[in-house]
Chains A and B, each alone.
Chain A
Amino acid sequence: AQRVTQPEKLLSVFKGAPVELKCNYSYSGSPELFWYVQYSRQRLQLLLRHISRESIKGFTADLNKGETSFHLKKPFAQEEDSAMYYCALSGNFGNEKLTFGTGTRLTIIP
Chain B
Amino acid sequence: NAGVTQTPKFQVLKTGQSMTLQCAQDMNHEYMSWYRQDPGMGLRLIHYSVGAGITDQGEVPNGYNVSRSTTEDFPLRLLSAAPSQTSVYFCASSRLAGGIYNEQFFGPGTRLTVL
Q: In the bound complex, do residue A46 and residue B100 qualify as a contact, i.e. CB atoms below 8 Å apart?
A: no
Contacts of A55 in B (CB 8 A): none
Instruction: Give the chain A neighbours of B100 by CB distance below 8 A.
Output: 32, 93-95
Report the stretch among B15-23, B65-73, B78-86, B102-110 that lies at the interface.
B102-110
Report the separation of the CA atoms of residues A49 and B45 in the bound assembly, to the nearest whole angstrom: 20
The residue on A at minimum CB distance from B42 is A102
**Interface size of A by Cβ–Cβ distance < 8 Å?**
23
Residues of chain A lying within 8 A (CB to CB) of residue B58: 97
Chain A residues with Cβ below 8 Å from B108 are: 43
* Chain A hits for B41, CB < 8 A: 102
- In the bound complex, how far is the Cα of B58 from the Cα of A10, in angstroms? 27
Interface residues of B in 80-97 (CB under 8 A from A): 90, 92
The answer to whether residues A43 and B104 also contact, given A98-B45, A101-B42, A102-B42 and a CB cut-off of 8 A, is no
- Contacts A43-B106, A43-B107; A97 near B48 (Cβ below 8 A): yes
Which residue in A44, A45, A93, A97 is a CB contact (below 8 Å) of B45? A97
List the A residue with the shortest CB-CB distance to B56. Answer: A97
Give the residue name and chain of the B residue nearest to A102 (CB): B42
Within 8 A of B (CB), among A49-106: 49, 86, 90, 93-103
Contact B101 A95 (CB under 8 A): yes
A70: min CB distance to chain B, Å = 15
* With known contacts A43-B106, A45-B106, A46-B103, A86–B48 Cβ distance under 8 A: no
Q: Give the one of B43, B90, B106, B107 with max A CB within 10 A.
A: B43
A5 to B43, CA, bound (A): 12
Other A-B pairs beyond A93-B100, A96-B101, A101-B42, 8, CB < 8 Å: A4-B42, A44-B106, A46-B103, A86-B42, A95-B99, A97-B45, A99-B45, A103-B43
